[in-house]
Amino acid sequence: MRSRHHDIADDLRQQITAGRILPSERLPSEAALADRYRVSTVTLRRALSVLQMEGLVEKIHGKGNFVRRPHRKIMYVGGWGTLDPWTAAEPDLRVTIRSTAVQAQEHLATLLKVPTGSPVVEFTCLSVEGESPHGLARAYMPHDLVSPGALDDASTYREAATRFAFLGPPPTAVRETVSARLPTPDEASVLRIGNASVVLSITRIATDSTGRVVEATLLAFPGDRVDAVFTTHHVVDERQGKGRQHRTNCGSSRGRARKASPAT
């Protein structure tokens, strides 16, 4: 038997999509809605939770439940390792930057190919529009590659950080691993999304001409707020024999991160 809270969620969803409840409009109080639908507040909150996980409703502590405005998407350009310059320059978007010295724990040490406990510098960049975060980037560089003073003032890297670009000199090679997954508790808190929301996750490893890893960046974008574009080049197709080159389509491939399926 279908649960009552799903019926309530369906009714509220229909009102929102039909425009009878407008974006940014505050919903009636939970007590008032419970009375309207003749259910307990527990059942009513379950219905609202469904809409919150779908991204239609946002609960703001101390203020109530509001219909969310559709989020403007930002664009990440794969291979170049940066937000689209036009997107990054939008006046309503701002990026906060914080840097700190840390020791590379096991996972980070593996990404950077350094001994566990090695000193590295972490740059945390958060892209925000109004009160809505659009993307989170955590870039890590070996301590000896960071210029003096960067720990006191990240302005040396500000221009690159605002575009989520490489902080150091252009690398010789870049490897980007892309997946759609649930957020970590920290990501859910920083990005202000539900634990059941999907994020587009990109792990970007940059190396120099000697093969040294000069930067490892972990990026996370809410799935409803990003487009990722990748351009393919000549690659070696090992399945067709050693040394044989396989030419792929040269052009842009746009992938949208959705809840139903991964985006690449």
Coil, strand or helix at 163:
coil
User: What local confidence, expressed as pLDDT, does residue 55 receive?
Assistant: 75
Residue 246, pLDDT > 50, answer no
| DSSP H or E stretch at residue 227 | strand 226-231
User: Could you tell me which of 220, 109, 115, 214 has the C-alpha nearest to residue 169?
Assistant: 214
Q: Please write the tens of the pLDDT for every residue from 75-110.
A: 899 888 888 877 777 777 888 999 899 999 999 999
Give the start-end residues of each E strand in 87-210.
Answer: 93-103, 119-129, 132-142, 173-181, 199-207
Distance CA 158, CA 180 (A): 28
Arithmetic mean of pLDDT, 213-238: 83
Task: Please tell me the least confidently modeled range out of 63-72, 114-123, 221-230, 234-243.
Answer: 234-243
pLDDT band at 262 (very low <50, low <70, confident <90, very high): very low
pLDDT band at 261 (very low <50, low <70, confident <90, very high): very low
Q: Please write the tens of the pLDDT for every residue from 22-66.
A: 888 999 999 999 999 999 999 999 999 999 877 788 888 888 999
User: What local confidence, expressed as pLDDT, does residue 39 receive?
Assistant: 95
Distance CA 204, CA 217 (A): 5
Residue 252, pLDDT > 50, answer no
Q: What is the mean pLDDT of the chain?
A: 83
Residue 158, pLDDT > 60, answer yes
DSSP structure class, residue 238? G
Task: Please tell me the least confidently modeled range out of 9-13, 65-69, 106-110, 243-247.
Answer: 243-247
Q: Which residue reads 């309207």 in tokens?
A: 36
Other beta carbons within 10 Å of 65: 21
Q: Which residue reads 């390792």 in tokens?
A: 81
Distance CA 213, CA 111 (A): 8
In percent, the amount of the chain with pLDDT more than 90 equals: 50
Contact 93, 87 (CB under 8 A): yes
Q: Please write the tens of the pLDDT for every residue from 177-195.
A: 999 999 999 999 999 887 8
